[in-house]
Amino acid sequence: MVLAALTGAALLLSSAASAGGYEHVRIPNDDGQIDAVLYRPEGPGPFPAVVALHGCNGLWRDNGTLSLRHSDWGEQLAQAGLMVLIPDSYGSRRLGSQCGVKDVTVRPSRERVADAAAARRWLQTREDVRADMIALMGWSGGGSAVLAAIRKDRRPADGKPDFVRAIAFYPSCRLQSESASFAARLPALILMGEADDWTPPAPCDFLAKAAQARGEKVDLVIYAGALHDFDHPRLEVKERSDIAYSATGTGKAMVGTNPAAREDAIKRVKAFLKGL
């Protein structure tokens, strides 16, 4: 596929009308096309933008509506003046939730990194986006993809401006922290729950401290008592038992909203992105 031949107008294959504050779009990648949702601020732009990567549950709920976490963040960031593009890495490949799948075919370190790059390039074709002001953000498995994407040894070779900042909510840092070659090429903010028994914060703490010792701008915030999914707008605290990999090895983990952590995280993310 020759990306250079595709203009912003040709790339925008929308469902025509916006739904719930967002519009459906399709973006080209190496395998064909990816479905995505786009949140656009009011006004003519050009706007700074965020590519946001969903977690292992996917982008959509079982009833066909957009996940509350992603719609909440999309609306909040759009209101703050940011274009938000959320590629659907699973639904585009006819996959459902991957939380309980041990041998995933859409890997955070490969396919999801490629999806993030495709989303960045698509945004950079739009006249209402600042091509040199695009950040990367993700949750859980999407957060792990963020860390894989910002490695110095994965610098883009497409000649387009790189992502400028990165945010990862409760990623699994184990593989990156154990890699002697990991080094972050751009400022990153990692937000974790201290009581997270799905993706515990200890490996991320090790990764952040090692990065800081090398002079890299990687900050870690750990919220006391917070669980996985602490930033969800309204998720009752409960136990999940459908997880392929959990810290306990039982396939079980606690999840749920932590209002104080959520409020602080929203403020931190907006402040981190304010300079865009």
Q: What are the chain's domains? A: 3-273 (3.40.50.1820)
Residue 216 has pLDDT above 50, yes or no: yes
Convert the pLDDT of each residue in 103-152 to its tens digit. 999 999 999 999 999 999 999 999 999 999 999 999 999 999 999 999 99
| Cα gap 273→70, rounded to integer Å | 17
| Angle 100-104-109 from CA coordinates, rounded to 5° | 120
Convert the pLDDT of each residue in 188-202 to its tens digit. 999 999 999 999 999
Is residue 67 within 8 Å of residue 212, measured between CB atoms?
Answer: no
CA-nearest of 197, 253, 261 to 224 is 261
pTM of the model: 0.91
What are the CB-based long-range contacts (under 8 Å, 24+) for 57-66?
A: 57/97, 57/99, 58/88, 58/90, 58/91, 58/95, 58/96, 58/97, 58/98, 59/86, 59/88, 59/89, 59/90, 59/91, 60/88, 60/91, 65/20, 66/20, 66/22, 66/37
246: confidence class by pLDDT, cuts 50, 70, 90: confident
Q: What is the mean pLDDT of residues 39-53?
A: 96
- Token pair 């490996």: residue: 203
